[in-house]
Amino acid sequence: MKPSILAIRSIGGEFANRVFYPVVIIAAIIAGLLLALVVWLTTIDGLWILLAIPVIIAISIAGGLLAVIKLLIRSVTPAQDSAQKKATKSFVDSLQRVSDVAQTPKVVLLFRIARDVAAPRESGFIGTLATDTTSLHSDFRALSALFDQRVTRK
C-alpha cells in the first residue's frame, strides 16, 4: 500500500480515537442516568418497570454500536512503530489547530476524515489539506516518509 494512504489511515484512526472516547464517556453517563431514573420510578410504582425494557434495549444497541465502531477504527488503523505514532499524533494536533482556526466543527471534520479512511486517496480531504496548508505540508511529507520506510523494510 502507498505510504501516503497508510499515513491517511493512520491520521484517520488517531482522530477517530480522539473523538470516540469522549462520546463513550457521555454515552455511559447518559445510560447511567437513565437507569437510575428507571430504578427511581420503579420504587414509586411497579408499572414503571415496563419502562426498563426499552431503556435496556436502547442501551444495549448503543453499546453494541460503539463496540462495532471501535473495532472498525482498530481495523482501519495501520500498525505503527513509536516514531510513526508520535508523528501521527503531532499531525493530528496540527490538524485540530487548523480546523479550530477555520472553525470547522469536529463532527464535520470527523465525517470528512472517515470518508478519506473508507476510500483513501491522495486527493481526499487530508491530502488536499496537507498540500494546501503550508504548516501541514511538511508534517504530512515527514509522516508519509516514515510509512515509506516501513513499506520498503518489508
Segment-wise mean pLDDT, segments of 10 residues, the chain, 154 residues? 80 84 90 95 90 94 91 87 89 80 72 75 73 72 78 59
Q: How far apart are CA 145 and CA 148, in angstroms?
A: 5
* pLDDT at residue 72, rounded to an integer: 86
- Helix ranges (H only) for 77-133 are 82-101, 106-118, 125-132
Cell representation of residue 107: 463532527
Question: Is the pTM value of this prediction over 0.85?
Answer: no
Cell representation of residue 45: 410504582
* pLDDT at residue 31, rounded to an integer: 96
139 Cβ partners below 8 Å, 6+ apart?
87, 90, 91, 94, 130
Quickly tell me which residue has 520506510 as its cell. 149
Candidates 80, 67, 107; CA nearest to 10 is 80
* pLDDT at residue 33, rounded to an integer: 97
Q: How far apart are CA 77 and CA 147, in angstroms?
A: 13
* pLDDT at residue 114, rounded to an integer: 75
Candidates 16, 147, 15; CA nearest to 81 is 147
* pLDDT at residue 139, rounded to an integer: 77
Total domains, the chain: 1
